Structure 1
Amino acid sequence: MDDLDQELLSALRHNARIPVSSLAAMTGASRATVAARIDRLVANGTIAAFTVRTGHETRAAGVRAIVMIEVLGKLADKVADQLRGLPQVRALHSTNGKWDFIAELEDRDLVSFDETLRRIRLINGINTTETNILLKTRKASF
């Protein structure tokens, strides 16, 4: 998967009904290229389904967390590609200081969340992580 695939997946996670023309304008790719990429992502199983989340499901997420990630050497781009491919990663931010990335995660329950953390820690190039589970949102920007 390249950067265009990652951009498309990110946009579709946010809104699975976004028109191909909007995706094309957002990414700078042609409509035909975007449509072909989405078809390929569906065919190879990267996109397993298009779905709807109701307002209740959005507000009642099982487990949400922030994971700070330190990367070894010059592997940041490869690590970022792997993290962006995980559906539980809702946002991925590069940062300065001790941590190279901050990932916002959302999972259905603690058992699934534990498995997601295990998968993240197994990514080649990740040196260490620190995880903080989000308990209560006091202000959100939607």
Structure 2
Amino acid sequence: MTPQDDLLLSLRKLGLGERIQVIPDSSTFFAAIESRFPITGSKVDWQLLESEYRQLRTDNEGEEFAEFLVELGSRFKLAGKATYAGDGLTDVAIIFDFADAGRLAEAVAGIPQHHYIANQEMQWCASLTMEREMWFAFAPCSSK
């Protein structure tokens, strides 16, 4: 099984299989991020944004990323449809309801790649990086 197959199976086991929409190619998602956020190399340049940052404290990346997203959701009233994609071992984009962000984070965190989540309007973006950093920022010129 590929990491992508493992991810989709994990999402089904978590009860999210019927609650998500899988887009076979994540390139449109990443093009949208690149159009709204500053990019250096192939990653969002979080240093150029007014951003939230946390370094992972434990080896439980999924739990910490889930807590980070739930906290951000509460603080900034994040809701509605969002999209997840990874930039390495998976090619799909996954559309999900932000209410399920915690469970999705736990499923994706073990895959060794950069992970991105953004709302459908690309007003904000969150990330878990290979360097064990968690980031969040609103797009420049977006309404918070």
TM-score between both structures, scaled by the size of structure 1: 0.25
TM-score between both structures, scaled by the size of structure 2: 0.25
Q: Which has the larger radius of gyration?
A: 1
Pick the structure with more strand per residue.
2
Pick the structure with more helix per residue.
1
